[in-house]
């Protein structure tokens, strides 16, 4: 069944059953990916998937259901599920957005040039990089991951109040994990790049960076366990911000799950810190003209020179706080309900070069990578104790890699302890709860333990 027929039939039958408000959210995702291993195609995937989610107001409560199969059975399943679920709900009901008076940007984030890159071109590029990786250094033993993938996503939102919206986006990414070996020591690191501009990818440069990342970890040494001044390198900083971004959601605040509750207009970070959510970032994976409720998106400063100036809101949290939705009522897919989350969120960079951040350190640690974020960090309390890789710095110079470390601290204390912000803004690999970035950050100190 095509989408238009499905929608019309769903709305007609829903209204007959007594639904007053009905909304259909639609996503179509196309993906392509290739993995290679020693010059041969080791994995090849292509897919097209549709999914729809329905919200309906029944007995004064908003019920949800979704399906990936567009047929008559599913229409009956969706409406019946909502009829069963809605009467049991006890929270504040959600409301549909009518779109009345709303002003939408009309940017198309879809690159047709990217769509026209053929599978053969992508595979040839991947093979070229892999070849250059093996040629770069004799210590390269193999890649444990070499892949190229692209993804396009189309979204539509329709309701029986007359709202009709469309958005689309696409992007391509390359991922390499290079294993290097010297004597008995084995190291590997992950290289990740995301872009809309395939032509601008430079195989030579990617191979070099991917191998250098792993090579730089050979020759590890342990240092005394103590509190060190720390440089959080851009992607490590971004992954930390991503882990705790939920604290800025008004939903978390209202449920008592954020330490930022009651801190609006207070200084929550050092004055070097400005945190911006920008849904119009040309290369952003979460760029778009409306959120999952159909509310127009806008740029939003959360933290301005250290001061907390706003939370993220959707329609429901905004109503509760007596403010307007900030256009952050997102759902991570049609399978989820409306939550509150960032679009493209990042710490605003300065002009300070990365090298200058550690250039005047007498002694310190550079953290290039944090692991265990889903388990070693408590997004509510802000406490974290994470595995980390990185370098030891002495008299402003990188001495060499450290053994596996753990670093422990509290995110809200880290915000206050940021002494300097670098220029090198990078985004952490895709996450469903936003596209989140940071430049390298210099911190007063963290407790570091070496294995």
Partner 1 sequence: MLDKTLVENVISAALTTGGDFSEVFVEDRFTNNMHHQGGKLEKSLAGRDFGVGIRIFKGLQSVYAYTNDYSEEGLVKAAKTAAKALQGANSKKDIILPLEKQSFETAHPIQLMPNSVEKNRKLAVLRDASEIVSNYDPAIAQAIIRLIDEEQHVLIANSEGIFVEDKRVRSRMAIAAVATDGTDMQTGFYGPGAYQGFEFIEGLDLNHYAKEAARIAVTMLHADPAPSGKFPVIIDNEFGGVIFHEACGHGLEAEAVAKNNSVFAGKIGEQVASDLVTYIDDGTIPNEWGSINIDDEGEKARKNVLIENGILKGYMIDKFNGRRMEAESTGSGRRESYKFAPTSRMTNTYIAPGESTPEEIIANTEHGIYAKYMGGGSVNPATGDYNFAVNEAYMVKNGKIDKPIRGATLVGNGAKTIQKVDMVGNNLGHGAGMCGASSGSIPVNVGQPMLRVSEITVGGREAN
Query: Within 89-128, which residues bind partner 1 (CB under 8 A)?
Result: 89-91, 119
| Contact partners, residue 79, CB within 8 Å, separation at least 6 | 10, 13, 14, 17, 19, 54, 56, 65
Residue ranges in 191-220 that form contacts with partner 1 under rule CB under 8 A? none
Q: Pick between residue 104 and residue 145 the one whose CB is nearest to partner 1.
A: 145
Rounded CA-CA distance 85/113 in Å is 45
The answer to whether the beta carbons of residues 79 and 139 sit under 8 Å apart is no
**56-65 core/surface letters (b: 16 or more CB in 10 A; e: else):** bbbeebbbbb
The rounded Cα 451 to chain-centroid distance in angstroms is 30
Nearest in space to 75 (alpha carbons), one of 154, 22, 20, 153: 22
Q: Which of 14, 56, 63, 327 binds partner 1 (CB under 8 A)?
A: 63
Angle subtended by helix axes 3-17 and 72-85, to nearest 10: 40
Q: Which of 8, 9, 12, 41 binds partner 1 (CB under 8 A)?
A: 41
Rounded CA-CA distance 207/209 in Å is 6
Q: Which of 256, 262, 265, 351 binds partner 1 (CB under 8 A)?
A: 256
Rounded CA-CA distance 342/284 in Å is 12
User: What is the closest distance, in whole angstroms, from the C-beta atom of residue 450 to partner 1 in the complex?
Assistant: 8
Q: Pick between residue 214 and residue 344 the one whose CB is nearest to partner 1.
A: 214
**Does 66 engage in binding with partner 1 (CB under 8 A)?**
yes
- Site stretch for partner 1 (CB under 8 A), options 76-84, 273-281, 298-306, 421-429: 76-84
- Site stretch for partner 1 (CB under 8 A), options 83-91, 107-115, 269-277, 390-398: 83-91
Structural element, H or E, at residue 355: helix 354-358
Q: Which of 16, 88, 265, 322 binds partner 1 (CB under 8 A)?
A: 88
Rounded CA-CA distance 386/371 in Å is 6
- Site stretch for partner 1 (CB under 8 A), options 61-69, 168-176, 279-287, 353-361: 61-69
- Site stretch for partner 1 (CB under 8 A), options 194-202, 240-248, 250-258, 347-355: 250-258
φ, ψ of residue 433 to 5 degrees: the values are -100, 40
Strand pairing category for 307-308 and 140-159: unpaired
Residue ranges in 313-342 that form contacts with partner 1 under rule CB under 8 A? 335-337
Binding mask 265-304 for partner 1 (x = CB under 8 A): ----------------------------------------
**Does 26 engage in binding with partner 1 (CB under 8 A)?**
no
Residue ranges in 370-409 that form contacts with partner 1 under rule CB under 8 A? 371-372, 374-376, 378, 380-381, 383-387, 404-409
Q: Pick between residue 370 and residue 421 the one whose CB is nearest to partner 1.
A: 370
Binding residues for partner 1, how many (CB under 8 A)?
71
User: What is the closest distance, in whole angstroms, from the C-beta atom of residue 184 to partner 1 in the complex?
Assistant: 11
Residue ranges in 414-433 that form contacts with partner 1 under rule CB under 8 A? none
Q: Pick between residue 102 and residue 218 the one whose CB is nearest to partner 1.
A: 218
**Does 368 engage in binding with partner 1 (CB under 8 A)?**
no
The rounded Cα 385 to chain-centroid distance in angstroms is 21
Give residue for tokens 């882990």.
243
CA angle 174, 176, 179 (to 5 degrees): 180
Rounded CA-CA distance 21/381 in Å is 38
- Site stretch for partner 1 (CB under 8 A), options 45-53, 166-174, 292-300, 348-356: 45-53
Rounded CA-CA distance 344/356 in Å is 27
């Amino acid at each position: 069944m095509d989408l238009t027929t499905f929608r019309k039939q769903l709305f007609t039958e829903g209204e007959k059953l007594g639904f007053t408000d009905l909304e259909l959210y639609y996503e179509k995702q196309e993906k392509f990916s290739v993995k290679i291993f020693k010059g041969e195609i080791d994995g090849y995937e292509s897919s097209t998937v549709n999914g729809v989610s329905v919200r309906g107001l029944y007995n004064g409560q908003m019920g949800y259901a979704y399906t990936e199969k567009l047929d008559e059975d599913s229409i009956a399943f969706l409406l019946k599920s909502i009829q069963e679920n809605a009467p049991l709900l006890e929270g504040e009901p959600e409301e549909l957005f009518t779109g009345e008076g709303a002003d939408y940007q009309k940017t198309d984030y879809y690159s047709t040039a990217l769509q026209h890159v053929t599978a053969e071109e992508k595979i040839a590029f991947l093979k070229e990089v892999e070849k250059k990786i093996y040629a770069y250094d004799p210590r390269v033993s193999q890649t444990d991951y070499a892949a190229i993938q692209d993804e396009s996503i189309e979204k539509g939102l329709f309701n029986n109040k007359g709202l009709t919206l469309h958005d689309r986006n696409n992007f391509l990414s390359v991922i390499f994990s290079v294993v290097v070996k010297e004597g008995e020591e084995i190291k590997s690191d992950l290289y990740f790049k995301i872009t809309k501009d395939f032509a601008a990818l430079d195989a030579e440069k990617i191979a070099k960076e991917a191998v250098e990342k792993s090579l730089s970890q050979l020759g590890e040494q342990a240092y005394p366990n103590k509190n060190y001044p720390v440089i959080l390198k851009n992607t490590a900083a971004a992954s930390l911000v991503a882990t705790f971004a939920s604290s800025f959601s008004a939903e978390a605040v209202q449920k008592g799950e954020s330490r930022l509750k009651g801190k609006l207009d207070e200084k929550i970070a050092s004055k070097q810190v400005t945190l911006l959510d920008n849904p119009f970032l040309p290369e952003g994976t979460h760029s778009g003209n409306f959120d999952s409720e159909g509310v127009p998106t806008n740029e939003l400063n959360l933290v301005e020179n250290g001061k907390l100036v706003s939370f993220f809101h959707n329609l429901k949290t905004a109503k509760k706080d007596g403010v307007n939705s900030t256009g952050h009522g997102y759902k991570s897919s049609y399978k989820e309900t409306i939550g509150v989350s960032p679009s493209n969120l990042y710490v605003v960079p300065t002009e300070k070069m990365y090298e200058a951040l550690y250039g005047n350190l007498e002694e310190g640690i550079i953290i290039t990578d944090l692991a265990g974020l889903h388990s070693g960090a408590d997004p509510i309390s802000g406490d974290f104790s994470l595995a980390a890789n990185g370098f030891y710095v002495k008299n402003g110079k990188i001495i060499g890699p450290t053994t596996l470390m753990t670093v422990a601290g509290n995110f809200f204390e880290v915000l206050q302890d940021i002494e300097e912000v670098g220029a090198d803004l990078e985004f952490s690999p895709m996450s469903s709860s936003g596209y989140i970035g940071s430049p390298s950050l210099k911190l007063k100190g963290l407790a570091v333990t070496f294995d």
